[in-house]
Amino acid sequence: MILALAVSGGSLQPAHASPAADSGQVVPPPRPEPVKVRELPLPPVTPSTEAGSCTREINPRGTGCVGQSTGLFSGNFLPDSRTIVATVLFTGAPAAPDPASIYTGQQLILVRSDGTTFPNGDAWKCVTCGVPQSNALGPADAMDYPQAFSDGKRVLAGTNIIDCGPYQLADRACTPQRVHIYPIRWNTTADGSGPGGSIRELRLHPDDTHLGFSSMSVTGGRLDQFSYLGRLRFNPSPTTGTPLVPRYDLVKVSRLFDPTTTQPVDIDPGSPGKLRFDPFVPSVGELRGFSGDGREVTYVGYPAESSNIDVFAADLTTGKVRRLTADPEYVDPVDISPDGKWTVVMDTRGTDRLSFLSAMRDVPGITDLLSASAISAARNNGKRRFFQPYLIDAYGDRGSYAGQRLNAAGDGSPGSINDPLWNGRADPKWSPDGTRIAYWQSLVIPPDCGGQNPLPCPVSTAPGGRTERLMIADLTSRKPQQRKPVAPISDTVPWAVPYEPGSAIPTRRHLPQGTYTLDGKKSGSAEVTVTENNAHTAISTLAVTYEDYSDDGRYLINGTERMTLQNDTPFHNRIDWYSDLVQTEIGTGRVHATKKTGPDGFHLDITVGTNKFQATGTLITTVDGHAYTQPANGT
């Protein structure tokens, strides 16, 4: 996930809340439910990437091998709720004309989750191995984030759609000769020429007709990102644009951001010297998917609380926003259950990795105008990740309820389901019948362990020493439900802006230089001083002074924060941070929390995408006597 100045917001109520939630009552949390977690089989591992290293001794059926680093991307389920789509990187195949030579490179596979096998005797089936070149004209190489259509005949993988025509992908009749791979193109030129726009983080809408995606840009020398929704239209004979092959075109595209509307941190139009902080406006940063009924888009949003990055959902018709998570740790991957009553996320909660930044609650997200990208990059250290899967009901985090960790039952030993060094990757997925959740994990590998890194490299206990694994969580007390078909949604999103090919990418406006006042919802105020860079294209420094500020009516915030951001490249962030905040309980004056930097401040140097935590100085947040400290550099 890459979070630029994405804007969003939310509440803890679900889109179709119960009367108790609408009346402001706290809905009691659910009781923990029984969960059985299993590892699913993958192709056998060859110890070498040399041609021919995948021998019959390693795979007697001649159906391919993977390396210890499998290139795994786990996807969702076929309509049968027992077969998962995934991509792996086959390696070590013998040279042609050996029939096994087709098992090479990144390929789409199907994996059985119920202990059964395909007709070839394997628990997996390669769908794209051996597809004739005439059936795959101009596809993109990457096949990340595979997502099956609800017809069971097609899969979105990367910027490709893999299609078996009239046949179910899992059927014996779906052979490589019957599979076609079509590229997806987004036209971004007025005359339809060129290769089209760059699209990432593609997510299939459950109506099988629309596609959500994100696209990165640079504004004022800084990384930015907008998200879009478009209709997939098959074009068998394109006459403009490349590739000039049968393809899917994205048409009726809308940008899920309107630069003319209110932003989360904005100037009060009725009082130019005052700011408004409204994290409930629908303006999507990085798109993460859709609700089970397709009415909402899910996304990583602008922090509703300072330094606390969460996922949100916005109704595609009304623009009503709800906050799906509120834990002070970092969350990014998310999937809403088919019935809309549950959310599964990959979250760093429980690790305290980012709590040194975010554990003080109800601080308005002002400094996040500068720090959001850097904070999102600090969630992991390169290939060392900290995600674990959590199940949360539709009413979200509240009180002491922070969801149920799906893989909590284990002894924590190497290779166990809750081994802390096996960490979750993107996009856990619900089965259509609502009884299973598929997710995938990876084990930290060099250079993010061993050598100069103080973390020792663990020894993989997975078959063949694999460093990725495919997992499934069976919700054993749940009864299968029949998923209702989702009717095609409208091409029009009332709060979005129709995209015109060739039009300029909008500039996300920033606060002009000056001093403003932000009033607390319950009491007090914050004085916010904004300093622009020399070119006046972006904010360079924010200084905030809180005086008896309160949004929740329980605690007062007093003190100061000052932050300066430097970008020598759009991806590189250098933040100089000075904080001296005190949060006291109203009525008693008891100190509830503090957020303080050391005498020389806190200086974070991090590159988005590389995600290597490097800092000098200290920043410590203390809540009710518990101190949250920053991770060591390189960990």
Residue 74 lies in a domain: yes
Q: Which of 466, 385, 463, 381 is nearest to 420 (CA)?
A: 385
Q: Do 438 and 552 reside in the same domain of the chain?
A: no
Report how far residue 95's alpha carbon sits from residue 84's, in angstroms, rounded to the nearest whole number. 29
Q: What's residue 17's pLDDT?
A: 34
Tokens in use for 232?
A: 């997939």
Q: Do 457 and 529 reside in the same domain of the chain?
A: no
**E strand segments, 27-129:** 35-40, 73-77, 83-90, 105-112, 124-126
Q: How far is CA 149 from each of CA 75, 253, 367, rounded to the nearest angstrom?
A: 11, 20, 41
Q: How far is CA 285 from each of CA 4, 116, 343, 537, 542, rounded to the nearest angstrom?
A: 7, 41, 19, 20, 22
Q: Do 477 and 542 reside in the same domain of the chain?
A: no
Q: Do 55 and 127 reside in the same domain of the chain?
A: yes
Q: Which of 496, 514, 528, 459 is nearest to 230 (CA)?
A: 496
What b/e string do you get for 62-73 counting C-beta neighbours within 10 Å, with b at 16 or more? bbbbbbbbbbbb
Amino acid at position 344, single letter: V
Q: Do 292 and 150 reside in the same domain of the chain?
A: yes
Q: Do 168 and 252 reside in the same domain of the chain?
A: yes
Residue 491 lies in a domain: no
Sorted by sequence, the CB contacts under 8 Å of residue 386 that are 6+ apart come out as 348, 351, 353, 379, 380, 423
Q: How far is CA 79 from the centre of its chain?
A: 24
Q: Do 140 and 96 reside in the same domain of the chain?
A: yes
Where does a domain end: 481, 498, 531? 481
Where does a domain end: 481, 500, 531? 481
Structure letter (DSSP) for residue 127: S
Sorted by sequence, the CB contacts under 8 Å of residue 401 that are 6+ apart come out as 29
Q: Do 457 and 534 reside in the same domain of the chain?
A: no
Residue 105 lies in a domain: yes
Q: Do 557 and 426 reside in the same domain of the chain?
A: no
8 A C-beta contact, residue 619 and residue 577: yes
Report how far residue 183's alpha carbon sits from residue 533's, in angstroms, rounded to the nearest whole number. 42
In this prediction the pTM is 0.94
Residue 504 lies in a domain: no
Where does a domain end: 481, 504, 522? 481
User: Which conformational region is residue 272 in: left (phi greater than 0), alpha (psi within -120 to 50 degrees), or beta?
Assistant: alpha
Q: Do 453 and 315 reside in the same domain of the chain?
A: yes
3-state secondary structure 189-216: CCCCCCCCCCCEEEEECCCCCEEEEEEE
**Which residue range is the domain that position 528 belongs to?**
514-628
Residue 562 lies in a domain: yes
Residue 58 lies in a domain: yes
The number of distinct structural domains making up the chain is: 2
Residue 177 lies in a domain: yes
8 A C-beta contact, residue 546 and residue 559: yes
Residue 446 lies in a domain: yes
Q: What's residue 191's pLDDT?
A: 97
Q: Do 86 and 223 reside in the same domain of the chain?
A: yes
Q: Do 263 and 138 reside in the same domain of the chain?
A: yes
Can you name the residues that pair with 387 across neighbouring β-strands? Answer: 424
Q: What's residue 222's pLDDT?
A: 85
CATH number at residue 181: 2.120.10
- Mean pLDDT by groups of 10 residues along the chain of 635 residues: 39 33 70 97 95 96 97 97 98 96 98 96 97 94 95 97 98 97 98 96 98 90 92 98 97 94 91 93 90 97 95 96 96 96 97 96 97 93 92 95 96 94 94 98 91 85 96 98 94 97 90 97 98 94 98 97 95 96 97 97 94 95 97 89
